[in-house]
Structure 1
Amino acid sequence: MKALIRKDLYTQKASAFLLTALWFIIFTNFFTDGQPVRHVLLLIFVAYFIAISTSNKAFEKESVLINSLPVTRKQFVLAKYASGFIWFGLSAAAVLFYIYLFDTFAPFPTRMMTIPEVLIALGCFYVIISLFYPLQFKAGYVLATSLTIALPLLSMMSFRIILNIMENPRMVAEQQFFLHTADLITTNQWTIALSVLLVSALLTWLSILLSIRIVRKIDFDHG
């Protein structure tokens, strides 16, 4: 399984890292106003984009590797999920360094991410890839990407709607609701982080079982 994880690391294209910069444009416009939700969303989808970039080849092509290495199909699936930790770690380092630069040098109000915020991002990241991998193994990379790419779009739309509400002086009740929700999240970050991680762990476990079942039924014999 370690060989499969190394394969994902070594075969990742440099272009994937360059394209990942698009998420910085989408979520921060290359500057940060200090809103923690922007940083959490940025980390989630930077890690997500890099992780799925290693799966952009047809699954049948990877069957050559499965048949040539002393690994089982179960190990192949587990390696995909395990490599997510590596991609998330690299993404977290990049995002935190990005925030540090603005916190230190730029005249924009911001702060570093807290540990619970990083854990929330980790949990949400695994929720997304738990949806992606079974879809990829069953229906292919294009469909899996198309369906899961809707998540960042919905996130941006929801975030924009909330900002519009907060700027509308006539929507006092809605503003109080969002302010109260933000206060609860801020004061109970560890509780929320642990809850997200527990839900993520359950979904990831179910996703792994489903992915293994799907992969075992795929015929890789090319005669």
Structure 2
Amino acid sequence: MNALIRKDVYTQKMSTYLITALWFIIFTNFFTEGQPVRHVLLLIFAAYYMAISTSNKAFEKESVLINSLPVTRKQFVLAKYTSGFIWFCLSAAAILVYIFLFDTFAPFPTRMMTIPELLIALGCFYLIISLFYPLQFKAGYILATSLTIALPFLSLMAFRIILNIMENPRMVAEQTFFLQTADLITTNQWTIALSVLLISALLTWLSILLSIRIVHKTDFDHA
């Protein structure tokens, strides 16, 4: 299984890193916004894009590797979910460096991400790939990517709508609701982080079981 994880890391294309840099522009509004929520969203989807970029080959093609290495199909599935954690850690390191530089040199207020925010991002990241991998193994990379890639844009749209509401002086009730929600999240970050991790762990476990079942039932002409 370690060989499969190393394969995912070592074979990542340089173009993937360059395209991932675009997420910084999208989520930070051309590097002029330093809200913590933007950093959480940036981390989730930067790690997500890095993880799914190693799966852009059809499973039938990757199965050639399975047959050439002393690994089982179960190990192949577990390696995919495990390598996702590696991409999350690399993305987190890059984003923390970015936040440090932003806080040091940019004339905009920001702060370093907290540990609960990192855990929330980790939980949300695994929620997304738990949706992606069963879809990929069952229906293919293109459909799985199409269904899950919309999530970043839906998140940005929701965030933009909330900002518009906060700037509208006539929407007092809505502003009060969002302010109370933000205060609740800020005050109870550890509780929310642990809840997200618990839900994510359960759904990831179910996703792994489903993925293993799908892969075991998949037949290949060359297998």
Q: Same fold (TM over 0.5)?
A: yes
Q: Does 1:120 align with 2:125?
A: no
Question: Which residue of 1 is the match for residue 219 of structure 2?
Answer: 219
Q: In the alignment, which residue of structure 2 is the partner of 1:93?
A: 93
Alpha-carbon shift at residue 29 of structure 1 (Å): 2.3
Aligned match of 2:145? 145
Identity of aligned residues (%): 88
Which residue of structure 2 lines up, in the alignment, with residue 27 of structure 1? 27
Partner of 1:191: 191
Q: Is the 8 A contact 2:20 2:49 kept in 1?
A: yes
Q: Does 2:19 align with 1:10?
A: no
Deviations 1:161-219 (A, max 9, x none): 00000000000110011001000000100000000000000000000000000000111
The whole-number CA distance in structure 2 between the counterparts of 1:61 and 1:218 is 13
CA deviations 1:84-111 (Å, max 9, x no partner) are 1100000000011101001111111110
Q: Secondary structure at the match of 1:149?
A: helix
Letter in 1 for 2:108: F
- 2:129 matched residue in structure 1: 129
Aligned counterparts of 1:221 and 1:197: Cα–Cα separation in 2: 39
* Contact 2:45–2:125 under 8 Å retained in 1: yes
What secondary structure sits across from 2:57 in the alignment?
Answer: coil
What amino acid maps onto 1:18 in structure 2? L
**CA apart distance, 1:154:** 1.0
CA distance in structure 2 between the aligned counterparts of 1:106 and 1:36, rounded to whole angstroms: 15
Match for residue 181 of structure 1?
181
Deviations 1:87-136 (A, max 9, x none): 00000000111010011111111100000000000000000000000000
- Does the aligned pair in 1 maintain the 2:43–2:95 contact within 8 Å? yes
Task: Report the count of equivalent residues.
Answer: 223
Q: Write the letter of the residue equivalent to 1:173.
A: A
- Show structure 2 runs of 5+ residues with no match: none
What's the TM-score once normalised by structure 1's chain length? 0.98
Residues 32, 99 of structure 1: 8 Å contact kept = no
Q: After superposition, what is the alpha-carbon deviation per residue over 1:15-71, rounded to whole angstroms, capped at 9, x for unaligned? A: 000000111111112324331110100000000000000000111110110001000
1:203/1:32 CA distance change after superposition, 3 Å: farther
Q: Distance in 1 between matches of 2:112 and 2:26?
A: 19
- The amino acid that maps onto 2:35 is Q
What is the root-mean-square deviation of aligned Cα atoms in Å?
0.9
Q: Which residue of 2 aligns with 1:55?
A: 55
Is the CA contact 1:24–1:42 (under 8 Å) kept in the aligned structure 2? yes
**Post-superposition offset of 1:150:** 1.4
Q: By how many angstroms is 1:220 displaced?
A: 2.2
Q: Is the 8 A contact 2:28 2:34 kept in 1?
A: no
SS where residue 100 of structure 2 aligns?
helix
CA–CA distance in structure 2, aligned partners of residues 32 and 121 of structure 1? 21
